[in-house]
Amino acid sequence: MKDELKIRINDINKNIMNRMMKDKFNNVIKLFILTLILISCAKQVIAALDPSDEFEQALSYFRNRKYDKAIQVFERVIFYHASSEYVDDAQFMLGRAYLEKKDYAQAIVEFDYLIRNFPNSQFLEEAFLYRAKSHLFKAPGYEKDQDETKNAISLFDEFLTRFPNSKYANEAKELILYARNRLAKKELENGKLYERLKETDSAILYFKYVIENYPETKFASEAKFHLALIYEKSGKIDEALKLFKELLEEPNWKNKAEKRINSIERKT
């Protein structure tokens, strides 16, 4: 009786083990099939499209301001279709996408890459322009170091030298003026600071620097007015009157200049 019970228990254990092994095998098969399905789906998702289709898809993302998605697809065109006619187009638009995202440092990298590696690209001219823009937009406010602004001006000058008849020439000149106004503002504020501190010699140097080096900027007239005030206070009336009279030609400074001239004339 005991032997039969023992045999029966062994049979039960074997059946249980067999079922467990069978279930485990079935689970492995199911997992394997599921993995194959997922891999197949993934391949369908990441399968490379025709380069023209990929580029148009990226442009669509760009036009709809989906810049992160545009960047991903432009990069796919560059990496997977490096020998296609769309590679330099994608490289240029990659820089544009980063510029729109205000990631100016990366935009500079992308435009630099196009300029160095695709000298015959139809986008070369615009790449020079947008690279200069990226440097200008990357520059901090006038109160901080302005090396980036100066670099931008140099790059705009390079653009105008390379492409003197460009349809973007006027835009480049306007941006140079914008950048030079920023530099002039920095020097003017330094002069006004020394003026407040009553360190007039230093203030005079800064105001003269703005007048002589940034005469086309809107801050040159303000520098003249402050310099004329210093001359007036220090008894250099002729120098003061000369500057005030020059400001009569400036609409924004005419009234203030007239008041100072009338005040000086009444005293004399």
The residue extents of the domains of the chain are 47-122
What tens digit of pLDDT does each residue of 160-195 get? 999 999 999 999 999 999 999 999 999 999 999 999
From CA 157, how far away is CA 174, in angstroms rounded? Answer: 12
Task: Kindly report, residue by residue over 105-124, the tens digit of the pLDDT.
Answer: 999 999 999 999 999 999 99
Burial class (CB within 10 angstroms; exposed 0-12, middle 13-18, buried 19+) of 266 = exposed
- Give the per-residue pLDDT at 18: 52
> Are the C-beta atoms of 136 and 175 separated by less than 8 Å?
yes
Architecture of the domain delimited by 47-122: Alpha Horseshoe (1.25)
Task: Work out whether the CA dihedral 55, 61, 65, 70 comes out positive or negative.
Answer: negative
Q: Is 21 helix (H, G, I), strand (E, B) or coil?
A: helix
Distance CA 20, CA 14 (A): 10
Q: What is the pLDDT of residues 132-160, one digit of tens each?
A: 999 999 999 999 999 999 999 999 999 99
Q: Which candidate, 139, 131, 53, places its Cα nearest to that of 98?
A: 131
DSSP letter at 141? -
C-alpha span between 69 and 73 (Å, rounded): 6
What's the token pair of residue 239? Answer: 């120098």
Which of 198, 197, 194, 196 minimizes the C-alpha distance to 210? 194
Three-state DSSP class for residue 251: coil
Q: Give the C-alpha separation, 50 to 24, whole Å.
A: 43
